[in-house]
Structures are given as structure tokens and as C-alpha cells.
């Protein structure tokens, strides 16, 4: 971080270490496995809809409702693929709760998700301004082996805290630490799982706005 507390390496082109890249590759593989499984389910459901549509005297409105639901689910899958794809450039101001919803959509497809699935509480978290893709990926990496994440206001910081890992030998979260620093923040101290980034209000104050 620079002397005013902002990151000097917040560009989306800033390199990650080999360990961090390997960690993200693992999560992508897990999500792709989940997508493949879900696509098979969607294909089966659409086949059933086609068969129903061929039945004489079938319920047209019911068939249309099922088809609409399946198309919505396909759209959700496409959105998740976009989120794990190429990074978007630039900084964004946004509510952490919006990014949390995106991360949960990805985590629903993660092959290593447990039951019950990860929850993220971010309703009261103030706005931040960071590369959004970094924040979402950090949440995915944290949530892959945690049952709950809490995002909240801690002074000039917005802190993201995960509970203890659900399984021994879980990810060391190198990726989370590196993404936190690239966003102008830092990993939480000690054995705490999570990170913190400056709030939008704090960044604006530093900028003299």
C-alpha cells in the first residue's frame, strides 16, 4: 500500500503468484464440474417439456411456465460462467451485498460445496470501490470451504470474515490474501479467515472529496 493507504497495484493486469493462480484454477474446475452437472439436469428437464408439449390436450400454460423457469436457470448459468471468465477492467463502486449475490451464484455450482450451502451476510455493509471481479473471486475462494461469511463496517474498513474451514487441510487462501492487497486492503491478522478493504467513504475522504 502507498502512504495514503491506497493500493499501488490495483490494476486488473497486476500478476498473481503461481500459488494464487493454481488456487483459482482449482475453484474454476470445481465450478465447471458443477455447471456440467447442472446442464445435464437442465437438458433432461427441457426434454421432458418437449414430451409434454406433444401430449394431446396437454396443459399449455403449465408447460410454458416450466419452460420459462428452465430458461431463467440457463441464464443464471451463463451469468456464472461470465463471473469466472476474463476479468473486467477498472474500478467499480458497488454494494458488497450485490457482489455477495454474484458469489453465491457461483458457489451454488461449486463441486465442493457442502450441505447446507455457504451463506453470506452483507446487508449492512457500506459501499466499496475496488475491481469488482477481484472482490467476487475473493468471496468465492473464502466461501468454498466456509459455512458462513459476514461482511460489515469496521471504521474506515469493510471487513469480510469467514468462519473456520469445514474440512481439515482446506485451502490456505493465498488467493484471498493477494486479491485483498491488490484491492488496496489486506488479509485479516493471525488465524482469522478473511480480508478487509477501505470503504468508499474512506477512499473519498483520502481523495479530498
Please give the pLDDT value at position 11.
38
173: closest CA among 129, 138, 206, 198?
138
Question: Is residue 139 within 8 Å of 149, Cβ to Cβ?
Answer: yes
Question: Is residue 80 within 8 Å of 106, Cβ to Cβ?
Answer: yes
Please give the pLDDT value at position 5.
39
Please give the pLDDT value at position 77.
73
Please give the pLDDT value at position 172.
59
Question: Is residue 172 within 8 Å of 145, Cβ to Cβ?
Answer: no
- CATH numbers and ranges of domains, the chain: 13-209 (3.30.565)
Phi and psi at 122, nearest 5°, equal -140, 15
Handedness of CA 192, 153, 160, 188 (dihedral sign): negative
Q: 113 by DSSP, 3-state: which? A: coil
Spatial distance between the Cα atoms of 167 and 146, rounded to a whole number of angstroms: 9
Q: Which residues pair with residue 82 across a beta bridge?
A: none
Spatial distance between the Cα atoms of 140 and 26, rounded to a whole number of angstroms: 11
Looking only at the bridges linking them, the beta strands covering 92-94 and 128-130 are antiparallel
| Cβ neighbourhood burial of 13 (10 Å; 0-12, 13-18, 19+) | exposed
- Each residue's pLDDT expressed in tens, for the chain with a length of 209 residues: 333 333 334 334 458 899 999 999 999 998 888 888 778 777 777 777 777 777 776 666 767 777 777 777 777 777 777 777 777 778 999 999 999 999 999 998 888 887 788 999 999 999 999 999 999 999 999 998 888 999 999 999 999 999 866 555 555 578 999 999 999 999 998 778 899 999 999 999 888 87
Please give the pLDDT value at position 181.
95
Residue with cell 479467515: 193
196: closest CA among 147, 119, 114, 126?
126
Question: Is residue 198 within 8 Å of 185, Cβ to Cβ?
Answer: yes
Amino acid at each position: 500500500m502507498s502512504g495514503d493507504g491506497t493500493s499501488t497495484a490495483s490494476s486488473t493486469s497486476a500478476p498473481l503468484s503461481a500459488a494464487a493462480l493454481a488456487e483459482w484454477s482449482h475453484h474454476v474446475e470445481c465450478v465447471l464440474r458443477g455447471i456440467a452437472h447442472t446442464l445435464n439436469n437442465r437438458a433432461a428437464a427441457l426434454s421432458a417439456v418437449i414430451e409434454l408439449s406433444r401430449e394431446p390436450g396437454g396443459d399449455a400454460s403449465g408447460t410454458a411456465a416450466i419452460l420459462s423457469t428452465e430458461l431463467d436457470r440457463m441464464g443464471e448459468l451463463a451469468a456464472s460462467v461470465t463471473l469466472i471468465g476474463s476479468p473486467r477492467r477498472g474500478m467499480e463502486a458497488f454494494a458488497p451485498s450485490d457482489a455477495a449475490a454474484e458469489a453465491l451464484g457461483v458457489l451454488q455450482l461449486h463441486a465442493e460445496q457442502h450441505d447446507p450451502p455457504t451463506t453470506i451476510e452483507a446487508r449492512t455493509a457500506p459501499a466499496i470501490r475496488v475491481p469488482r471481479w477481484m472482490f467476487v473471486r475473493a468471496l468465492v475462494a473464502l466461501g468454498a470451504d466456509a459455512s458462513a461469511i459476514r461482511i460489515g463496517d469496521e471504521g474506515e474498513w469493510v471487513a469480510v470474515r469467514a468462519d473456520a474451514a469445514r474440512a481439515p487441510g482446506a485451502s490456505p487462501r493465498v488467493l484471498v490474501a493477494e486479491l485483498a492487497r491488490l484491492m488496496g486492503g489486506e488479509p485479516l491478522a493471525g488465524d482469522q479467515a478473511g480480508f478487509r478493504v477501505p470503504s468508499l467513504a474512506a477512499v473519498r475522504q483520502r481523495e479530498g472529496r
